[in-house]
Structure 1
Amino acid sequence: MSIRAERKRRGDISLEEPIGVDRDGNEITVGDVLGTDEDAVFGGAMEAVAAERIRALVESRLSAREKRIVVLRYGLDGGEPLPQREVGRLMGISRSYVSRIEKKALAILREALGEGGKELV
């Protein structure tokens, strides 16, 4: 029975398995090679925080109509972002009116975000 178990685990390796040494003589492990870049992890966390802040501002600062347009246009509800023409059709208003409301809503969000809102589309 233990022979079968060993055979199944034969291809398994530990993340702490040494695979060589670097120029300074330090041991390099599988985990060192496969590790995630810390900047990527930090960047992802910062994006999540920014997205949550924007969602909170959409909820608190925009009217119901502005909110619905921004949510539909940018897919903030997890849906697919829609073009202005489609948003207008769903809401029973013209594409140009959607554009004006969207522009006003984004200006409100930019102002609420302060200088950090310059990246907001």
Structure 2
Amino acid sequence: MTIRSTKKTKVELSLHEPIGMDKEGNEINLLDILGSDVDEILDEVDLKLQIKKLYKAINQVLKDREKVIIELRYGLIDGSCKTQREIAAMLGISRSYVSRIETRALNKLNKALMNK
């Protein structure tokens, strides 16, 4: 009977029980490895909320051409950012016109996000 009861406790570990040493010779416990910082979690949630607001503002505030330029310029579609020259060549307009449209779109987005 004693063997069975000790066998169960061998599998159980405390989060504060030392499991090894780091490079500097400090003890590492399970909590150090598994734990995550609360601030990191809050920052990640805040970032996701801001991204949602940004995409909502892009869809509500910008005209089609402005939306396309912002999406291409900052890689919002496929993760690959394009230069103003590349966008100008794709759309058949001048680079300076792309710059003006981009500036106007960013100002609109800034106003929309500041008002919310």
On whether the aligned pair clears a TM of 0.5, the verdict is yes
* 1:57 partnered with 2:32: no
The percentage of aligned residue pairs carrying the same residue is 35
* 1:16 partnered with 2:2: no
Matched residue type, 2:113: L
Which residue in 2 is equivalent to 1:75?
A: 75
String of CA shifts for 1:51-99, please: whole Å, max 9, x gaps: 1110111011100000000000011113301111111111111111000
Task: Report the number of matched residues.
Answer: 97
**Structure 2 CA distance for aligned equivalents of residues 92 and 15 of structure 1:** 65
Matched residue type, 1:90: M
Larger RCO of the pair (alpha carbons < 8 Å, separation 6+): 2
Runs of 4+ in 1 over 2 A off after TM superposition: 12-17
**Structure 2 CA distance for aligned equivalents of residues 83 and 15 of structure 1:** 54
Aligned-pair distance for 1:17? 6.2
Which residue in 2 is equivalent to 1:38?
A: 38
Which residue in 2 is equivalent to 1:97?
A: 97
String of CA shifts for 1:12-35, please: whole Å, max 9, x gaps: 996736118xxxxxxx840x2021
Aligned-pair distance for 1:114? 1.2
